[in-house]
Amino acid sequence: MAKLSEKIGYGFGDFASSMFWKIFSYFIPFFYVSIFGLKPAHAAFLILITKLYDAVSDPVMGLIADRTDTKWGKYRPYLLWIAVPFAICGVLMFYTPSVSSYGFKIFYAYFTYILMMTAYTAINVPYGAMLGVVTSDPHEKSEFSSYRMFFAYIGSFVSMGIFAIFEESIKGTPRIVDGVPLLDELGNPVLIQTVKEAQPMQFTFVVSIVAVLSLIFFLLAFKLTREHVKIERRADGTNSGVLDDLKALSKNGPWWLLTAASICYLIVGSLRGGAAVYYFSNIMGGNALFGSVIFLTIGELAQLSGVPLAVPLSDRLGRKKTAILSFAWIGLFSIPVSFLPASSLGFWGLLACHILVCIGIGVVSPLMWAMFSDVADYTEEKNGVASTGLVFSSSSMAQKFGSALGSALVAGILGLAGYQEGVVESSASIDLAVRGMMGYLPAAGAAIGILLLVLYPLSTTRMEDIRARLAARRG
């Protein structure tokens, strides 16, 4: 029986990565356009093209982790080995070089973005696969997964809180341009009103705080957890080839459907998160503090409140039906946001819809992890090969694809709508684009997710049959 400290330690791993994940989800397009200084179209292409790299790196990391063998286990050592590189790469990614060459800045952005995604893959793919080796008891696996999701949302909340404190700390301070305080026509200093006016090094400093916390909690996760289950690659103890594993995965229909559905739900979150700062600055006409930080933090709390609903709902309805209903809930309460007026009534309507949508996202989040474990069991039963790391690599790949596609859509749609950084006046096309990214586009993503899950074949009844055959095979 696993100790409570091990479950908490496992949760610490996602606490660490989720702090950065929320920065990726909510601030990547904002950082590259408003702080780093890329054109929206270039930022969109950067975010999108780097995901082609992830399509290779995630499964490769899964294959490597499956074949790792150390005194600490197969997957746990990566929490120790990659913690420091992860923190360093995170700081470098959010550093803006002081150069005049736009071409060099694009090169730097590509290099550091890919470097950070490599570090993220190298630590998170093995971390996710650890769920298969920390215990052999199904009930305890559910507990470990619950601790993971709980600490993931706490980590996100802490990250958003750090950014809230950061914005409040710079608000009202003089705005600096080329090292000199900016003055108005009367000679008075121009004061910072929103985080969009922050200096690049100020942004780097606050990300550095997150990086140090991530490093600490990854190391704590390594220290507190243990691998208790030794996984044999095949039932006879022999190894399968890399090409055999990849070929089997390529023919795995449930894996394709679940990965695509996961991408959809993550696109929904990153679209809404990335567009929020523009909704409050362009539609509501105020500063972006509430939209970029407090509004999103309320969403994190709503998602956290949705997590406990996942187990009782899935126990009653099954994981597949619960996920479908959650997607429908998300779509239903996303649509009204596109039509809310820019008034106090519209604001409260927006907040109510936001909370309801985030509760639905909170229900879906732990279900996706549980459903990937179903896919792993299905794969082992069908092919006679345990490839836990490779299967769980798809969850990391889905996270990065979904977040990056959502962020790329934010930057790309703003560019098509004619958004220009530094131009205060909004326009009808920009307002329409921002409303769409907060409303009917997330609803469309949820609708696609529903279709994919309807086609997903691993129902509760079928999984009971698969687990029974696996138990008989394992003896």
Query: Which residue type, as a one-letter code, is found at position 159?
Result: S
Can you tell me the mean pLDDT for 200-217? Answer: 93
pLDDT of 176 over the 70 cut: no
Residue 14, token pair as written in the block: 């996602």
Q: What whole-number distance in Å separates Cα of residue 340 and Cα of residue 343?
A: 8
pLDDT of 13 over the 90 cut: yes
pLDDT class of 58 with cuts at 50, 70, 90:
confident
CB atoms inside a 10 Å sphere around CB 16: 31
185 vs 359, more confident: 359
The contacts of residue 418 (CB under 8 Å, 6+ apart) are 427, 429, 430
The pLDDT tens digits of the residues spanning 307-363 come to 888 878 888 888 899 999 999 999 999 999 888 887 778 888 988 999 999 999 989
Q: Above pLDDT 90, what percent of the chain?
A: 30
- What is the predicted pLDDT for the residue at 186? 61
16 vs 463, more confident: 16
- CA-nearest of 122, 108, 131 to 57 is 122
Can you tell me the mean pLDDT for 370-396? Answer: 78
What values do phi and psi take at 279, rounded to 5? Answer: -65, -45
- What is the predicted pLDDT for the residue at 231? 65
Token pair 């997903």 is at which residue? 456
In contact, 434 and 279? CB cutoff 8 Å? yes
- What is the predicted pLDDT for the residue at 459? 86
pLDDT of 59 over the 80 cut: yes
- CA-nearest of 11, 357, 12, 297 to 157 is 297
In contact, 12 and 224? CB cutoff 8 Å? yes
In contact, 404 and 120? CB cutoff 8 Å? no
- Which of 55-64, 111-120, 275-284 is least confident? 275-284
Residue 186, token pair as written in the block: 């009367």
50 vs 104, more confident: 104
Can you tell me the mean pLDDT for 463-467? Answer: 82
- What is the predicted pLDDT for the residue at 135? 79
Mean confidence (pLDDT) of the chain? 82
Q: What whole-number distance in Å separates Cα of residue 167 and Cα of residue 318?
A: 43
- CA-nearest of 250, 248, 231, 269 to 75 is 231
The contacts of residue 11 (CB under 8 Å, 6+ apart) are 147, 148, 150, 151, 152
pLDDT of 408 over the 80 cut: no
Q: What whole-number distance in Å separates Cα of residue 471 and Cα of residue 465?
A: 10
- What is the predicted pLDDT for the residue at 451? 96
pLDDT of 20 over the 80 cut: yes
The pLDDT tens digits of the residues spanning 86-140 come to 999 999 999 999 888 999 999 999 999 999 989 999 999 999 889 878 877 766 7
232 vs 236, more confident: 232
- Which of 35-44, 112-121, 245-254 is least confident? 245-254
- What is the predicted pLDDT for the residue at 230? 73
- Which of 338-342, 415-419, 462-466 is least confident? 415-419
Name the pTM for this structure.
0.76
- What is the predicted pLDDT for the residue at 160? 78
pLDDT class of 296 with cuts at 50, 70, 90:
confident
pLDDT of 75 over the 80 cut: yes
- CA-nearest of 58, 61, 115 to 91 is 115
Per-residue b/e over 318-341, b at no fewer than 16 CB within 10 Å?
bbbebbbbbbebbbebbebbbebe
The pLDDT tens digits of the residues spanning 427-456 come to 777 778 888 888 889 999 999 999 999 999
- What is the predicted pLDDT for the residue at 185? 59
Per-residue b/e over 228-251, b at no fewer than 16 CB within 10 Å?
eeebebeeeeeebeeeebbebbee
Which of 37-46, 271-280, 407-416 has maximum average pLDDT?
37-46
**Domain covering 4-474, topology:** Growth Hormone; Chain: A; (1.20.1250)
Q: What whole-number distance in Å separates Cα of residue 284 and Cα of residue 343?
A: 7
pLDDT of 207 over the 60 cut: yes
Can you tell me the mean pLDDT for 251-268? Answer: 88
